[in-house]
Amino acid sequence: MKRAYTVLVSLLLIACSKDNKANSDSFQHELVDLGKNKISTYFMEKNSDYLVVLVSGLADDHQVWQKKKVAERIAENTSVLLYDRGGYGKSTLENGPRDIPNLSSELELVIGKFAKGRKVILIGHSVGGLVIRDYAVKYPDRVAGLVFVDTSHEYYNKPDQAMEDQVYKAFVSAYGENSGAAKEAQQLLEDFDYMGHIGMLPHIPVFAITSMKKDQANNASDEAYGKTRQDWFDAHELLKRNTSDFVHLTTTASGHNIMLEEPTLVISAFSQLLGKL
């Protein structure tokens, strides 16, 4: 089991450290002062009925949505907001735990600067899926729909203290002790416990995309958690409770980073969701 943890952490670091930076020139950059910290935002206004916000996973900044032009494609007809959570990119980091409640509160403040009264469509990858899920439960009247891209889920993700410590130490080594990635990794145990008690999603359309590919990273994840790809699928199936319209898509063509390996699938899911509103 310890070897599986080591392999999984190594693969996480490799996936998040690829030198494949995206160009954000097409989006208007603004450093938003939230009081405790300043958040780097990238915005494209199309005066659409909804604001689309893309939320990255652990150790990824906003650029992960631009490497394969997912953000640009979505922004062709809708207003899109990208942002870096505290401690990522140009965003500063305040003192205090970087847990899911604080991350979703940060998201609420950022959305408040750009929504202009509009409801939001949230797209979240991996741990970003936890953030948008918590946000939707807390602010159901502000969310029109959700797209989960291979989201983390407490049914599958059950790290022990040794695993959290290993991930944290690896991220400290790679990004620094005061990085957003390290601070968020330090809260993994608490976050998955918290997510088990937040309640169901609101009565809105939801898309979930699940990687069923048996690649090195997914195999290492299954081994580390003592789970299977079927357990990963079943975890995402739990998201449909109370939703008005749930669509569950699977793929064996891409691994965990679906927006990089199969970007058209994410764009298609968003387009289908938008068509339901």
- Kindly report the CATH number assigned to the domain that includes residue 190: 3.40.50.1820
Q: Which of 20, 14, 77 is nearest to 51 (CA)?
A: 77
Sign of CA dihedral 215, 218, 224, 227: negative
Cα 68 to Cα 23, 108, 157, 194, 213: the distances in Å are 11, 27, 27, 33, 20
> Are 55 and 122 a contacting pair, CB within 8 Å?
yes
Place of tokens 């943890």: 5
- Lateral strand order in the sheet of 79-83: 28-33, 38-44, 79-83, 50-55, 119-125, 143-149, 205-211, 245-251
Number of domains in the chain: 1
Q: Which two tokens stand for residue 199?
A: 């309640």
Per-residue model confidence (pLDDT) at position 19: 47
Count of beta carbons in the 10 Å neighbourhood of residue 266: 27
Q: Which two tokens stand for residue 238?
A: 């739990």
What's the whole-model pTM score?
Answer: 0.95
Q: State the Cα–Cα distance between residues 181 and 190, nearest whole angstrom.
A: 15
Looking at residue 19, its amino acid is: D
Per-residue model confidence (pLDDT) at position 95: 79
Domain that holds residue 181: 2-276
Residues with Cβ within 8 Å of 18's Cβ and at least 6 positions away in sequence, in order, are none
Report residues of the chain scoring pLDDT below 50: 19-20
Q: State the Cα–Cα distance between residues 3 and 184, nearest whole angstrom.
A: 23
